[in-house]
Structure 1
Amino acid sequence: MFKELLTDVTLILVFLFVLHLVLESKAICAASTIWRRMQVGIVNGAYGLILMQFAVRITDTLIMDLRHIVIVLAARYGGVPGALTASLIIAAGRLTMFPFSTTAVISSSNVLLSGLLCAWLSTRKWPSWQRLVAMHATSMGSVTIIFIYLVDPQVLPLLLTCFWIISVLAGLMAQWYSSMLTEKKEMANKLAQSEAFNRAILDNVPEAIIIHADGHIVYCNPFGARLMGAVSSRKMLGEPILQFIHPDDHPLVLERIRQITQERKHAEAMEERLVRLDGTVIDVEVTGISIEYNGQSASLVVVKDITSRKRQARMLAEAHERTSNILESIADAFFSVDRHWRFTYVNREAERVLGRSKEMLIGCVIWDEFPRVMHTKFHDAYQEAMQHDRSVSVQTYFEPLDEWFEVRAFPSKEGLSVYFHNITDRKQAELELKQLNEELQRYSYLDGLTGLANRRAFDLKLLREWEKGAEEGTPLSLLLLDIDYFKLYNDTYGHEAGDRCLKQVAEKLTELVVGTDRMISRYGGEEFAIVLPGAALMPAMRQAERIRAGVESMGIPHSGSSVSGVVTVSIGVASTRPGAEGDMKSLLIDADRALYRCKERRNCASGGTE
């Protein structure tokens, strides 16, 4: 009896192994089709038929085997369809493979009952081991009931003891072996999934991934193949790794490979040159680590193409060099500061003007190095340009250096660019030009001989005072003065003496006519005009008489004069209120008429009414 049952146990274990091989290509899960689950039931049912061939005969019509374990396995791997299919096949085999009898019908019915119970139990949301225990217990219980009903009570205890011991052992062994095979399969599946996942990651990383062992490439992702100019990753496999390294970099790369594979060191990012399949050389950045690949020590390297970055860096460096050359060649001093007011560049001219070398200034804060600039127009201009993000131009005097500077500040994202140059010479020239223009302007209104105002200045003065008097309602007086017999003076003493006489008279007039608002001008030849703002006729007459007496008192000899032996003057006086009566031309006419009347007597002053 034990021999046959142990044979069944062995067959069950062999069956489990075969079943796992059959199911290995496609595991059964909740999403599997009913047909797929029924196939599991068919396989288990067929194996149940085999087990019945090695059954223990209890009587002519009663046999004992471990077919119930096959039904449990069918329920475990095939669920309801598997359990029902297996139980139907085994029940049919029990009726057809052995003589038909009541015992055969009862046994077949018991198989169907076990299949139904196991199918129901397989749907329970219990832990896996609980479902298995319940299915084993249910199947063994149903068989036990059949034995109690059909077997002789005298041999029943021994029979049940053997059956339970072998069934429990077989169930435990089947469970252990099945779990072991399942765990192994799951580990293999997980490993395969992990490898597939890792390969999918490596294949889709947007950087070149290359694995090499013993000097040859064993893996290359598609990005790496494209980087090296290969048609596909497969074309890279087996190629010597040094074939793609620039010859000048071979020693360095070999040392890095040794450190990675032998010393297990992580290779930090380093720039190298690779040679593509078409022979072109590219700049790359390479990092590497040591790994195990297919059971052998290998190096995994990540290759980043930096050709474009290196080219841009070279172009940027060249641009910086060109900019630096330009800034060093310009006549202006130039410096730049960052957003924290730290010097970032200083050209040679700026070094000269600032009195510091670029090495001393770069990285230093401008306000710390040049505190005297604080609260000056330089400081205000720099702050305005930086804060308001607009260019600022200013010309200012820097007292500590006693010099003028023109400054232009241009903001940028990086900070501030400042151009400045010394304009002291230009400012001095502008000042001298201004003074010269003022001098020329003054001379244009002065009489070159006497230094008094000329006719042009007189006309402007008279017009201004007329307008002022009209606005304020104040009087305005005019004196026209003529040196008596001046032509005879020139004829007698000469023109040089005549010029001296004119100067002396002009000086006396300047002495006698007091007031900043009054003007003495040379009206023409030996004639002078005096504008007296705010003076009425009588004060103007008194002023005229003082002038007449003053000139005569000078005692300048004049032998040609018929009224005196010295130089004398005749003065015509006119006075009016601008705007109230007449016009400015009328004032001139009245003064001229008064002078004409005065010339009839000479050496006198004559005036008109207001």
Structure 2
Amino acid sequence: MKALSAKLPFAEQRLYQVLEVLPLGVAIIEKNGNYSYINQTGQNLLGADQVLNLVSEHTAIAYKIYRAGTNQIYPSQQLPSVQALAGKTANADDLEIYRQGKAIALEMKVIPIFDDSGEVAYAIAIFQDITERKQAEAAVLAEALEQSEAYLRTVVNNFPLILWAIDKNGVFTLSEGKGLEGLGLKPGEAVGQSVFEMYGDLPEVAAAFRNSLTKGVPYYVTATTNGCTLEGMANPFYDDQGNIQGMIGVSMDITARKQAEDALKKSEAQFRRLAENVPGMIYRYILHPDGTDEFTYLSPRCREIYELEPEAIIQDSQKMWSLVHPDDSLAIQSLIAESLHKPESINLEHRIVTPSGRVKWIQVIAQAEQQTNGDNIWDGVVIDITQRKHTEQLLADYNRTLEQQVRERTIALEQEIWERKRAEDAAKAAEIALRKANLELERLATLDGLTQVANRRRFDEYLSQEWRRMAREQQYLSLILCDVDYFKSYNDYYGHQAGDACLKRVAAAMRNTLKRPADLVARYGGEEFAIILPSTAIQGAIAVAQAIQKAIKLLRLPHIQSQISDFITVSFGVSSIIPTHNLRAETLITTADEALYEAKKQGRDRIICV
């Protein structure tokens, strides 16, 4: 132990030498917030002439630490150092400092170190320059944004749309889309121009822009310019203080739709005027009780609609019925047959085939009246609605086209959603794999590579942990130190590979003998092992040592170079104590070590307890 004590200052010196060459900044922060140590890398990052002792809450101001991407000093209570001194391990990767006019991104992790009473004694800070990593992340994000922008541009440039944006002064900052063709503009040509100058001849448009930019109301305007009718929709966008910074919107070229609507309105207006002024063929039709019929009057427009002289139809009504389209003839005949019993007013549309072979749509409107002699009379008008039907067909075709476009767009969106979901699933799978790998690395870091039991690092951590726990619970903590007898002679005689195999089997026997999850076997060094037994008094510890001794003897590992046995044997030193805050865990190690020394002194292959 004296030799161990003599090595401690040397080990501390070596530790600081290692810290000084680390590519990471390392600092020790005392409980009062003062930095008692900062390695060379840390000083270079923070500035060697600025390494100050000050209250931790003032660190951000003193070192001019900003929140990344802003000109704001990092909030003191959110600093990792402040949180660590409050007892919480803290991480931050959004710190930014400036050195020689250059922004440096910092990542910092601060870990609180507790004393035996559970109070924060000091904190260890680890920080590094992550500027390149942040730049790489920004590059990846920029690439993704470029891809999204390219996709959006493809959509905009293939539909009659205009995607635009203006700043708070009404100057275009974005102008893209196929719809610009209708205005005689190219993509981007309007950028830099003022909407108030471009649309100065459209007061309602300029007023709507000004209203949105000053009051924040949504923009919705339909206007016609250069023969192109546009329907525009937009919303203002704001900065962090709630100030309007501009507008983002979309305009759709609805010229064709507007023309179709105007044509339909015109057709309907004409139809109303014609109906009011009886522009169609006026007629009187009589159906006699015996089933015979006749037309007694047909206006001159009969020639336009039926391409027949009115007199010819008056002489022979069958000339009229013979023009009814074959597909509509049965419905007309049924209507006439029903009217023999109950005459009703008519508003009927059907087709006719004129003598020239033209197919026309006509609308028949008539009022019915039954005479005392049994005759049923219809006075009405026949209107040529062929053009209206044609317009309706155009609109139906246009609607089908729109529906097809919507279906195609829906399929594209579903594909995009599926691909995004697949990318998210892949990212989650990668995250899970990384988490598993980190857990495996953490497990491997605490195992001895040869024997696959806990290594010295894990032994030290676990002993410290259980020492504190047993101190709180006032329970016994026992320690067994054991050493393979004459192992150097074994190695010299059988060789190092055999020696390694021997240590593996001895370690496995120890591990298999322990029954409780809380018990830990560790390789203490070389051929020396240690067993930590929480909540175990000296009698229990001796029983465990005896069980291990028996298990190793049952292995019957030959050792002809041993001075006490023909097989491998082990010497044990056992100590047990109830930890207190006035004692240190090293006390338990020292007493176990002394007991092991006594076991060897008394002839080895035995158990000595203190």
Instruction: Tell whether the structures are fold-level matches, with TM greater than 0.5.
Output: no
Q: Identify the structure with the greater strand proportion.
A: 2
TM-score in terms of structure 2 length: 0.36
TM-score in terms of structure 1 length: 0.36
Q: Identify the structure with the greater helix proportion.
A: 1
